[in-house]
Amino acid sequence: MTNLSIDLEQYILEHIDEEHELLKELNRQTHIKMLQPRMLSGHLQGQILKMLCQMIKPVNVLEIGTFTGYSAISMSLGMNNKDACIDTIELNDENEPFIRSFIEKAEMQQVINLHIGSALDVIPHLDKKYDLVFMDGDKRQYSAYYDLVLDKLNNGGYILADNILWDGKVVQEVPPNDAYTQEILAFNKMVKNDARVEKVILPFRDGIFMIRKK
């Protein structure tokens, strides 16, 4: 999902590093084999995540919503610490063989730990502190995810919450039965009012909330 015009997005893609060959294949196979390939992070967002990891230099990363592994592998390519670890959580067990095959092709088995199940069930059992959390799971659970991960985030650590502009619906009249948009609005308001964090919204693709724990 993107709010850029096709021409402008193409211009951007022509002026950044080329897509990694493995990620290019992952992208292609996702579009061939998956029902909702638009959920893929894609080259531009993947490159941003990679470079953010190079800047932040996280040791432990938590990802909520693996989909087919594009974002997890992108982040792993930006993590040079020998102790680097990404815990990534995917609800859909049917995606597991696909994800694991590309983790193996990337030779990132020692870096990326795939957890299959609900993030609300998995996160309480992850016994570590994180430097970076990428939230891209069920939008109806964003507030619940936030409550779970903030205590597991190191001071100075970051949360990146994806899709928080929700295709522009956040500034439109929202039907009471639209649970997705209602939750995004509630989450955005909660983060805005949380004095424990610094925050900024990046108006990129469908909006990313960049949140830093003080």
Measure the CA–CA gap between 152 and 141, rounded to whole angstroms: 17
pLDDT top residue among 139 and 9: 139
Instruction: Give the pLDDT score at 1.
Output: 52
pLDDT band at 3 (very low <50, low <70, confident <90, very high): low
Q: Which are the contacts of 26, defined by CB distance < 8 A and separation ≥ 6? A: 68, 69, 70, 73, 102
Work out the percent of the chain whose per-residue pLDDT is above 70.
99
**pTM summary value:** 0.94
Give the model confidence (pLDDT) of 162-211 as tens digits.
999 999 999 999 998 999 999 999 999 999 999 999 999 999 889 999 99
Q: What span, in angstroms and rounded, lies between the C-alpha atoms of 205 and 154? A: 27
- pLDDT band of residue 31 (cuts 50, 70, 90) is very high
* C-alpha torsion sign, points 38, 34, 162, 75: negative
Domains assigned to the chain:
6-213 (3.40.50.150)
pLDDT of amino acid 2: 54
Q: How confident is the model at residue 89 (pLDDT cuts 50, 70, 90)?
A: very high
23: nearest Cα among 76, 67, 73: 73
